[in-house]
Amino acid sequence: MVANPITEIRLEDMDKIALGGAFLGTGGGGDPYIGRLMSEQAIRENGPVKVLDVDALADDALVVPVAMMGAPTVLLEKLPRGDEAQAALTSLENYLGHKADAVFCIEAGGLNSTIPIAVAASAGLPIIDGDGMGRAFPELQMVSMTIHNIAACPMVIADEKGNSLVLNTVDNLSTEKFARVITVEMGGAALIALYPMTGAEAKKAVLRGSLSLIHSIGKIIYDEQSANRNPAERLKSELNGISLFEGRVIDVERRTEGGFARGTAKIEGIGTHDGDTLILRFQNEFLMAETKQGEVRAMTPDLICLLDLETGSPITTEQIRYGFRVIVFGLPCDPQWRSEKGLELVGPRYFGYDQEYAPIESINC
């Protein structure tokens, strides 16, 4: 899909960005609704947010992604105060002795595609048209910055009570391990600022055009819903996507464990899939789709997205419920994730699945 470049985020863009972020979030990244409200308030108070192409950055600029860390299910009951992400960024700036010149989304998904907009508006900063994943993944080291040897630390993690901590670790996996424990102690969700990098490093590491793609996808969903059409067919055409399954959710097993929302969802086929059952396995995000016979239909790092069969709205892992009628939709991931280093970070074996990675388009050809 060739996304129309977005150069400014206005109030009327936020509903599209929330929809597009929820879709690319592959079930994770947190419900974008809260982040949307925070962004809308910040834009009302401070005006639109400028969107920059990463190449417009000075090589010595300071660029920082901000995000939510933790189990998305926690935010159903533990709402953020609203200024934690800004506090994390300010603490990191104070530690570095340098003001940030721009922020960006660490992932193209859910809450984490909207919270950075709120921070940018509040801080009067531009936001980069890009992210570190091209989708959502559950762990901090699972970003393109790790592939390009950019350190996650120093990192600041902040909660709604006003606590904040600075982390310095030996590598990005260690950052994930220590920060996850702190997040659990902070109640299962916290706001973070990390991967401080120069403009030159950002030009190498950032996956480009993510915000424009999120906005374009959201506009498709919004326009099709406004016309009382399910957006699945148009999304399939525009994104070269694959319709994997249609059915009704008959069981959801979900638990918050170790700072993640983990579980499975079983979907009983309808229509052309009548008589079949698809099992979705998730750790914040949908990571594996397989039949009850064990036939894999899609796997990480490719995208597995869930759409409501009636409305076409994206469904996250914390929202999915018994009785939902859904479309399971698949997309190829960014090519970087199919490299040897990419698959070491986010391939099926990292998550404990005894499965060699196979591209979604070859499985469903």
Same domain? 55 vs 83: yes
Residue 218 lies in a domain: no
Residue 36 lies in a domain: yes
Same domain? 185 vs 252: no
- C-alpha span between 254 and 275 (Å, rounded): 24
Residue 71 has what pLDDT?
67
- C-alpha span between 143 and 164 (Å, rounded): 23
Identify the domain containing residue 274 by its residue range. 230-363
Q: What sign has the CA pseudo-torsion 154, 92, 206, 60?
A: negative
Q: Is the pLDDT of residue 79 over 80?
A: no
Q: What is the CA radius of gyration of the chain?
A: 19
Each residue's pLDDT tens digit, 182-217 = 999 998 889 999 999 999 999 999 999 999 999 999
Q: Is the pLDDT of residue 10 over 80?
A: yes
In this structure, of 17-26, 69-78, 142-151, 272-281, the range with the lowest mean pLDDT score is: 69-78
Nearest to 364 by CA among 279, 304, 275: 304
Other residues' Cβ atoms within 10 Å of the Cβ of residue 88 = 27
Same domain? 200 vs 317: no
Same domain? 30 vs 160: yes
82 pLDDT band, cuts 50/70/90, is low
Residue scoring higher pLDDT (284 or 59): 59
Residue 225 lies in a domain: no
Each residue's pLDDT tens digit, 124-161 = 999 999 999 999 999 999 999 999 999 999 999 999 89
- The share of the chain scoring above pLDDT 70, in percent, equals 96
Residue 223 lies in a domain: no
Same domain? 149 vs 63: yes
Residue 221 lies in a domain: no
Q: Is the pLDDT of residue 30 over 90?
A: no
Each residue's pLDDT tens digit, 258-277 = 778 889 999 999 999 999 99
Same domain? 76 vs 164: yes
- Global pTM value: 0.93
75 pLDDT band, cuts 50/70/90, is low
Q: Show which of 161, 180, 210 is a domain's final residue.
A: 210
Q: What is the mean pLDDT of the chain?
A: 92
- Assigned token pair, 27: 């079930």
Residue 300 lies in a domain: yes
Q: Is the pLDDT of residue 116 over 90?
A: yes
Residue 81 has what pLDDT?
66
Residue 224 lies in a domain: no
- C-alpha span between 354 and 291 (Å, rounded): 15
Q: Is the pLDDT of residue 1 over 70?
A: no
In this structure, of 71-80, 88-97, 145-154, 280-289, the range with the lowest mean pLDDT score is: 71-80
Total residues belonging to the chain: 365
Residue 126: give its domain's CATH number. Answer: 3.40.1610.10
Q: Which amino acid is at 288?
A: M
Each residue's pLDDT tens digit, 34-47 = 888 889 999 999 99
